[in-house]
Amino acid sequence: MAVTGWFVALVALGVVPVVLLANGWAYVGWVGLCLVLLAVDAALAASPRAASLARSGPDRVRLTEQAEVTLLVTNGSRRRLRGVIRDAWEPSAGATPRRQKLDVPAGERRAVRSVLRPWRRGERRAAMVTIRAIGPMRLAGRQASILVPGGIRVLPEFAARRHLPSRLARLRELDGRTSLMVRGQGTEFDSLREYVRGDDVRSIDWRATARRAGGPGPAGSPAPTLMVRTWRPERDRHVVVIVDSGRTAAARIADETRIDTAFESTLLLSALADRAGDRVDVAVFDRRVRGRVQGARGADLLAKLVDTMAPIDPELLETDWTAVPSLVRSMTAQRSLVVLCTPLESPGSTRQLLAMLPQLTRTHLVLVAAVTDPALLEAAADRSDRASVYRAAAAERAMLDAQRVAAAVQRLGADVVTAAPLELPPAVADRYLVYKAAGRL
Amino acid sequence: MTSSEVVTPTVRRTLRRALFWIVLAALLLAFAAVYGLTTRSTTEADRFSADEAAPAGSRALVQVLGDAGIDVVAAETLDDALAAIDDPATTTLVAADPRTVLTAEQWRELDGAAASLVLVEPPAPAVGSLAPAIAPGVPSLGGVRDEAGCSLPAALRAGSITADGLGLDASGATAADLGAAGVQLCFPGGEGEGGAALVSLDQPAGGTLHLLGAGGVVQNGLIGREGNAALALGLTGEHPRLVWYVASTADIAGGTTALSELYPGWVNPVAWLALTVGLAAAVWRGRRLGPVVIENLPVVVRTTETMEGRARLYAREGSRLRALDALRVGTLRRLAEGLALGSAAGLDDIVTAVSGITGRDRAGLRALLVDREPRDDGELVALSDELLELERLVQRRVALADDGPGERPADRPDPTTR
Cβ burial A15-38 (10 Å sphere, 16+ → b, else e): bebbbebebeebbeebbeebeebb
Largest CA distance in chain A: 134
- pLDDT, residue B8, reads 82
Q: Nearest Cβ partner of B284 from A8, A27, A316?
A: A8
Q: What is the pLDDT of residue B418?
A: 37
Residue of A315, A390, A396 to mutate when probing chain B, most B C-beta within 10 A: A390
Q: In what helix (H) or strand (E) does residue A84 lie, and over which residues does it extend?
A: strand A81-89
Residue B414 has pLDDT above 60, yes or no: no
CA-closest candidate to residue B304, choices A382, A424, A265: A382
Residues of A in contact with B299 (CB under 8 A): 250, 313-314, 316
C-alpha A393/C-alpha B336 separation (Å) is: 19
As a residue count, chain A comes to: 441
pLDDT given for residue A368 in this prediction: 95
Chain A within 8 Å of B5 (Cβ-Cβ)?
A: yes
Q: What's the sign of the alpha-carbon dihedral B352, B354, B359, B364?
A: negative
Mutate which: B260, B268, B293, B369, vs A, most A CBs within 10 A: B293
- Going along chain A from its start, the domains and CATH numbers come out as 1-155 (2.60.40.10), 187-233 (no CATH), 237-438 (3.40.50)
Query: Which residues of chain B are within 8 Å of residue A390 when distances are taken between CB atoms?
Result: 311-312, 314-315, 323
Would an 8 Å CB–CB cutoff place B268 in contact with chain A? Answer: yes
Greater confidence (A184 vs B341) lies with B341
Kindly determine whether residue A390 and residue B290, on different chains, have CB atoms separated by under 8 Å: no
A21-25, A30-34, B254-258, B385-389: segment of lowest average pLDDT: B254-258
A-chain residue closest to B307, CA distance: A394
Question: Nearest-CA neighbor of B238 among B68, B56, B51?
Answer: B68
Q: What was the pLDDT predicted at A361?
A: 93
CA distance A325 to A360: 6
Residue A368 near residue A409 (C-beta atoms within 8 A)? yes
Point out the residues of chain A with pLDDT beneath 50. Answer: 177-180
Tell me whether residue B102 is exposed, middle or buried, using C-beta atoms within 10 angstroms of its C-beta: 0 to 12, 13 to 18, 19 or more.
buried
Closest Cα in chain B to A148: B4
Angle at alpha carbon of residue B57, lines to B52 and B58, rounded to 5°: 95
How far apart (Å, rounded) are the C-alpha atoms in residues A427 and B107? Answer: 109
For B123-132, how does the pLDDT look when each residue is reduced to its tens digit (9 = 90+)? 888 888 888 7
> What is the length of chain B?
418
**Dihedral sign computed on CA atoms, order B4, B5, B10, B12:** positive
Pairwise CB contact (< 8 Å): A144 & B329: no
What pTM was estimated for this model as a whole? 0.69
B-chain residue closest to A27, CA distance: B269
* CB of B113 closer than 8 Å to CB of B93: yes
Instruction: Name the residue of chain B whose CA is nearest to A70's CA.
Output: B1
- Residue B266: its chain A contacts at CB < 8 A? 18-19, 21-23
Question: Which region, left, alpha or beta, applies to residue B102 given φ > 0 means left and ψ of -120 to 50 means alpha?
Answer: beta
Window B:350-389, CB contacts with A under 8 Å: 377, 380-381, 384-385, 388
Report the distance separating Cα B148 and Cα B161, nearest Å.
9
Report the residue of chain A nearest B333, measured CA to CA: A400
At B146, the pLDDT band (50, 70, 90 cuts) reads confident
Between β-strands A52-56 and A95-96, what pairing exists: parallel, antiparallel or unpaired? unpaired
**Which tens digits make up the pLDDT trace of B68-113?**
888 888 888 888 888 888 888 888 888 888 888 888 888 888 887 7
Rounded Cα distance between A183 and A189, Å, is: 8
Residue B307 near chain A (CB below 8 Å): yes
Set of chain B residues whose Cβ sits within 8 Å of the Cβ of A91: 293, 295
The domain limits of chain B are: 59-251, 315-417
In angstroms, what separates the C-alpha of B290 from chain A's closest C-alpha? 5
Contact residues for A415 (Cβ-Cβ < 8 A; gap 6+): A365, A366, A367, A368, A431
Distance between CA atoms of A33 and A14, rounded to whole angstroms?
10
Chain A residue numbers with beta carbons less than 8 Å from the beta carbon of B301 are 247, 250-252
Q: What is the 3-state secondary structure (H, E, C) of chain B?
A: CCCCEECCCCHHHHHHHHHHHHHHHHHHHHHHHHHHHHHCCCCCCCCCCCCCCCCCCCHHHHHHHHHCCCEEEEECCHHHHHHCCCCHHHEEEEEECCCCCCCHHHHHHCCCCCCEEEEECCCHHHHHHHCCCCEECCCCCCCEECCCCCCCHHHHHHCCEECCCCCEECCCCCHHHHHHHCCEEECCCCCCCCCECEEEEECCCCCEEEEECCHHHHCCCCCCCCCHHHHHHHHHCCCCEEEEEECCHHHCCCCCCCHHHHCCCCHHHHHHHHHHHHHHHHHHHHCCCCCCCCCCCCCCEECCHHHHHHHHHHHHHCCHHHHHHHHHHHHHHHHHHHCCCCCCCCHHHHHHHHHHHHCCCHHHHHHHHHHCCCCCHHHHHHHHHHHHHHHHHHHHHHHHHHHCCCCCCCCCCCHHHC
Question: Which three-class secondary structure state does DSSP give residue A224?
Answer: coil
Cross-chain residue pair A389–B284, CB shorter than 8 Å: no
Chain A environment of B390 (Cβ under 8 Å): none
**In angstroms, rounded to a whole number, what is the distance separating the alpha carbons of residues B402 and A339?**
37
The answer to whether the complex's ipTM is over 0.90 is no
pLDDT tier at B261 (50, 70, 90 boundaries)?
low
Nearest Cβ partner for A84 among B289, B302, B308? B289
Residue of B nearest to A11 (CA): B277
pLDDT band per the 50, 70, 90 thresholds, residue B407: very low
CB pairs under 8 A between A and B: 200
Residues in a beta bridge with B117: B93, B209
Report the residue from B273, B295, B322 with minimal CB separation from A14: B273
Contacts of A33 in chain B (CB under 8 A): none
